[in-house]
Amino acid sequence: MVKPTINTMEELSEAIGVSRPTLSRYFQSPDSVRGKTSEKIRLGLERVEYVPNFFATRMNRKTTGIIGVIIPYLNDLFFTKLLEAIEIAAMDAGFTVITQCSHSDPTIEARAAETLMSMSVDGALVAPLGNQSDPETYRRLGARLPFVLVDSRPKTMPDVDFVGTDHIQSTGIMTEYLCRVGRPPIFLAMPRVNFNAIERENAYIGKMQALGHAPIVIGTELIAQDWHFEAHGEAVLDQHFSRGAYTDRSILCVNDRVAIGAIRAASRHGLLPGRAAKDGLRIAGHDDYPLCPFTTPALSTVAQNVEAIGKASVSRLVDLIRNENSVKQPQIQLFDGVLKLRESA
């Protein structure tokens, strides 16, 4: 038997024989409707094909039950892992996640924040682009709803809660390891527009100085407008390897995607990074990108605790949404990184 399709609450009200406001209360919370009426609605729904409108059932609530998330890239598996952790934690807390992407563009990032405000989400988790993010947009966002920064903490938002990685610790342990197994590493950086890139570069410099070594940083200049991450790492090291430079050094890359490009550059020059020689070429990264075990050689790196970061960011945001924490100072939660030693270093 084919069930009749019902498209609107008005049609459903007539088909079941209960008022539209009663149906609305039922979809918000079945326990809010008297037992006999609730059973009548339940049996009526079994006889028809009807999917309640997500937003319509929340129009009269004090809360939409929605958390908005803004991430900077869709093609980065690190943010895929982070979003997965956030969605699982949000579902456990009874919230639905709606995701917006800034596509590495401050204008699109501002539009994404405006979209979340227009949807009346209960709160937002934001992985911002960095200091190029529009502070006025986030001032308005903070005035409308609670939000928490995740992964990146621009200087323009010092008063916003933040959950991320302790880059001093995480970069430091890899720097120490590379100093222990070979010559002190050089640092393959990125153009200084990315908050985490700057944090890690500074952490490398600080640790090298603390160990009594002179830091060497390369790759801070933009080579081509559309060369990011892998392309940047490959191009920078291709230039140096072509001159015979750094072919016998340890190279700590600002992140795994840059390191993947660095490994490709090494391959093009007939170099194989690894642990065999005391003073041979080594390449290491940061983040534990999902593809790291499958590069050739497999990439040594520092793993961020993505699951803990996602869970803690949702927990903090839910506290703010429910006003369960009266602390006025911004709360900063930093998680340690863990060495993942593979073939490349």
Least confident segment among 51-55, 88-92, 150-154, 226-230: 51-55
3-state helix, strand, coil in the chain (%, to 5): 45, 15, 40
Any residues with CB less than 8 A from the CB of 103 and at least 6 apart, and which?
72, 73, 74
Residue-range domain boundaries for the chain: 9-58, 66-165+307-336, 167-303
Residue-wise pLDDT tens digits, 175-199: 999 999 999 999 999 987 778 899 9
Distance of alpha carbon 116 from alpha carbon 217, whole angstroms: 39
Please give the Cα distance from 70 to 131 (Å, whole number).
16
167-303: what CATH class? alpha beta
Burial class for 159, CB neighbours closer than 10 Å (0-12, 13-18, 19+) = exposed
- d(Cα 208, Cα 244) in Å, to the nearest integer? 24
Q: Is the pLDDT of residue 230 over 90?
A: yes
User: Does residue 324 have a pLDDT over 70?
Assistant: no
More confident position, 131 or 259: 259
The reply to whether 167-303 shares the fold of 66-165+307-336 is: yes
C-alpha span between 184 and 217 (Å, rounded): 12
Dihedral angle computed from the Cα positions of residues 109, 113, 119 and 124, in that order, rounded to the nearest 10 degrees? 110
Structure-block tokens of residue 340:
């993942």
Nearest to 345 by CA among 296, 294, 300: 300
pTM for this one?
A: 0.82
CA distances (Å), origin 41, targets 3, 7, 23, 48:
16, 16, 8, 11
Q: How confident is the model at residue 277 (pLDDT cuts 50, 70, 90)?
A: low
Above 60 in pLDDT, residue 59? no
Residue 60 has pLDDT above 60, yes or no: no
**What residue has token string 């956030």?**
86
What's the confidence (pLDDT) of residue 112?
A: 95
Q: Give the C-alpha separation, 121 to 139, whole Å.
A: 16
How far apart CA 199 and CA 184 sit, in angstroms, is 19
Asked if pLDDT for residue 1 goes beyond 90, the answer is no
Measure the CA–CA gap between 76 and 174, rounded to whole angstroms: 22
Per residue in 213-237, is it b (16+ CB within 10 Å) or e — as a string?
Answer: eebbebbbeeeeeebbbbbbbbebb
- What count of Cα atoms within 13 Å lies in the side-chain half-sphere of residue 87? 10
What is residue 39's predicted lDDT score, i.e. its pLDDT? 82
211's tokens: 């160990």
Residue 274 has pLDDT above 80, yes or no: yes
**Average of per-residue pLDDT values in the chain:** 90
Q: Which long-range contacts (CB under 8 A, 24 or more apart) does 42-46 make?
A: 44/12, 44/15, 44/16, 44/17, 44/18, 45/16
Phi, psi (5° rounding) for residue 301?
A: -160, -175
In angstroms, the CA 338 to CA 180 distance is 17
What is the rounded average pLDDT of the residues 93-104?
A: 94
Three-class secondary structure of residue 60 per DSSP: coil
Fold designation for 66-165+307-336 = Rossmann fold (3.40.50)
Tens-digit pLDDT profile for residues 8-17: 778 777 877 8
